[in-house]
Amino acid sequence: MPRTSTRLTFAVLATGAGVFSMLQSLIAPALPTVQHALHTSQSTATWVMTAYLLSASVFTPILGRVGDLIGKKRTLVAVLVTVTLGCLLAALAPTIGVLIVARVVQGIGGALFPLSFGIIRDEFAPSRVSHSISNLSAVIAAGGGVGIVAAGPIVSALDYRWLFWLPVGIVAVTTLIALRYVPESPNRAQGHVNWSGAVLLSAWLVALLLPLSQASRWGWGSGRVIGLFAAAVALFALWLLSEARSRTPLIDLRIMRLPAVWTTNTAALLFGAGMYAIWSFLPGFVQTPGTAGYGFGASVTASGLLMLPMLVAMFLSGVLSGRLEPVLGAKKLLTGGAALGALACGFLAVWHDQQWQVAFSAGVFGLGIGLAFASMANLIVGSVPPEQTGAATGMNANIRTIGGSIGAAVTSVLVTGHLQPSGLPYASGYTDGFALMAVLCLAAALAALLVPARRSGPVTGAPQAFDDSSSTATEVAVAPGARS
């Protein structure tokens, strides 16, 4: 296989991960259009989002681990092919059932995040790893914003099916380039996939996320919601037991207990709760007719444009964080990013009467997202051995998604708990929701303060060595294993 520059490798990774991130949010503004076009109910149409969420949550850590074992490039290409087929199936879907299945297939692309971080660590010069991870994180963060902004114009000018036709072409070309030019990573984990652990991980994630996403329709006190939460607790305990006993665990629990990892994951859980709630509810706020006493009656396209400052800010701050990280350290950037998120949500809670106020607050929140995404990835990558990069970064992405589901569910209770006679939420519901998001982001900043300080410098081959008898980690000096 021909060797290539790391710039081309990065372009491939950024394109694949960016498109997947865009697919997360691209369909949300178009759900009413999809519901009408496929002659289905609103509750059924929401499964287009739920199926994607569940699939990504299950496959992200599992395929991250598979990449660690059999090769990250090989797994990356297989995932890109799968995403292409999922987008093609969605573009051609004649019924809502087929579209939901297509979204499950697309969700497998969640593994692109940990695989991409792992390839960067394996293939790039140590001095470029942190900077490249920050840039990739900026693309991932901006991808979600692109989906919100671009959905309206695409649907208005073309058709909702073009939300999937466009990614088909982009991902197909990316797959061919990756197959030929992305090098196979040299670092491999030993052992095999713990399939019992994979099944249990999938089971407790579905049992947790399904009721969180459906509780507003099923009812928080319904038997289905309570039963699934109870099942999630039991399955989580069984998963922990299975992983602890396995010689080759899917997720090495010793790594999850490292101070830099569990504190970063805690911050990811809390910040994800605030971030996904903003993405879910801020467009709805600005689309609310002014007759409700708030809102601007904006169209889908106009509401997307109000989110444009967030998109621009998160990309710029993500790129900038790569230059700031060697000077300030990832811990300070994560703390600052979460604090900016708290500040933005605080602004929204008291300051949302004019469109420019919403746009300004969205921009501040975007600055926080860019800093937080890049620093979380760098903290995880810099704290685990190379052969565990995929599994560890996959679990971090998953924990952020779990936080997002919790934040969106709780915010939904606040926003829709009491409705006006017109059926629209009261302004106080949104105000309380924004205040909750501010508290969650502030808690994320406090959690980030607990992250152990790490000396600035390039990410090297394997920063941790494990003592099997004590489950503790000891810093060791290892020669870099990356290639330029």
Q: How confident is the model at residue 475 (pLDDT cuts 50, 70, 90)?
A: very low
* b/e code 175-212 from CB counts within 10 Å (16+ = b): bebbbebbbebebbbeeebbeebbbbbbbbbbbbbbbb
Q: What is the mean pLDDT of residues 224-230?
A: 95
- If asked whether residues 262 and 394 sit together in one domain, one would say yes
Q: What's the pLDDT score for residue 367? A: 94
Percent of the chain surpassing pLDDT 90: 43
pLDDT at residue 78 greater than cutoff 60: yes
Q: What's the pLDDT score for residue 4? A: 54
Mean pLDDT lowest among 166-180, 317-331, 435-449: 317-331
Q: Which residues pair with 466 in a beta bridge?
A: 473
Percent of the chain surpassing pLDDT 70: 93
- If asked whether residues 238 and 260 sit together in one domain, one would say no
What is the overall mean pLDDT for the chain? 86
1 is a domain residue: no
464-467 and 472-475 strand pairing: antiparallel
Q: What's the pLDDT score for residue 313? A: 92
* 221 Cβ neighbours under 8 A, 6+ residues apart: none
pLDDT at residue 228 greater than cutoff 60: yes
203 is a domain residue: yes
Q: What's the pLDDT score for residue 454? A: 64
* b/e code 400-435 from CB counts within 10 Å (16+ = b): bbbbbbbbbbbbbebbbeeeeeeebbbbebbbbbbb
Q: What share of the chain is helix, strand, coil (3-state, %, to 5)?
A: 75, 0, 20
- If asked whether residues 353 and 205 sit together in one domain, one would say no
359 is a domain residue: yes
- If asked whether residues 172 and 201 sit together in one domain, one would say no
Q: What's the pLDDT score for residue 441? A: 96
230 is a domain residue: yes
pLDDT tens-place string over residues 109-154: 999 999 999 999 888 988 888 889 989 988 888 888 788 888 888 9
231: exposed, middle or buried (Cβ count in 10 Å: 0-12, 13-18, 19+): middle
- If asked whether residues 224 and 257 sit together in one domain, one would say no
- If asked whether residues 330 and 342 sit together in one domain, one would say yes
155 is a domain residue: yes
- CA 89, CA 85: separation in Å to the nearest integer? 6
pLDDT at residue 480 greater than cutoff 70: no
- If asked whether residues 214 and 274 sit together in one domain, one would say no
pLDDT at residue 50 greater than cutoff 50: yes
pLDDT at residue 308 greater than cutoff 60: yes
- If asked whether residues 344 and 443 sit together in one domain, one would say yes
Q: How many domains does the chain have?
A: 2
Q: What's the pLDDT score for residue 405? A: 83
Q: Which CATH number characterizes residue 297's domain?
A: 1.20.1250.20
Handedness of CA 448, 187, 469, 397 (dihedral sign): positive
Q: How confident is the model at residue 38 (pLDDT cuts 50, 70, 90)?
A: very high
pLDDT tens-place string over residues 314-349: 889 988 988 888 889 999 999 999 999 999 999 999
Q: What is the mean pLDDT of residues 38-62?
A: 86
- If asked whether residues 327 and 357 sit together in one domain, one would say yes
pLDDT at residue 477 greater than cutoff 80: no
482 is a domain residue: no
Mean pLDDT lowest among 56-65, 73-82, 187-196, 295-304: 187-196
Q: What's the pLDDT score for residue 183? A: 87
Q: Domain boundary residue among 230, 247, 264?
A: 247
Q: What is the mean pLDDT of residues 162-182?
A: 93
484 is a domain residue: no
Backbone angles phi, psi at 102, to 5 degrees: -60, -35
- Domain, as residue range, for 135: 6-193+248-475
- If asked whether residues 231 and 265 sit together in one domain, one would say no
Q: Domain boundary residue among 207, 230, 247?
A: 247
481 is a domain residue: no
Q: What's the pLDDT score for residue 447? A: 96
pLDDT at residue 421 greater than cutoff 70: yes
pLDDT tens-place string over residues 253-288: 888 899 999 999 999 999 999 888 888 788 889 989
- If asked whether residues 201 and 257 sit together in one domain, one would say no
Q: What's the pLDDT score for residue 387? A: 79
- If asked whether residues 430 and 327 sit together in one domain, one would say yes
Q: Domain boundary residue among 183, 214, 247?
A: 247
15 vs 65, which has greater pLDDT? 15
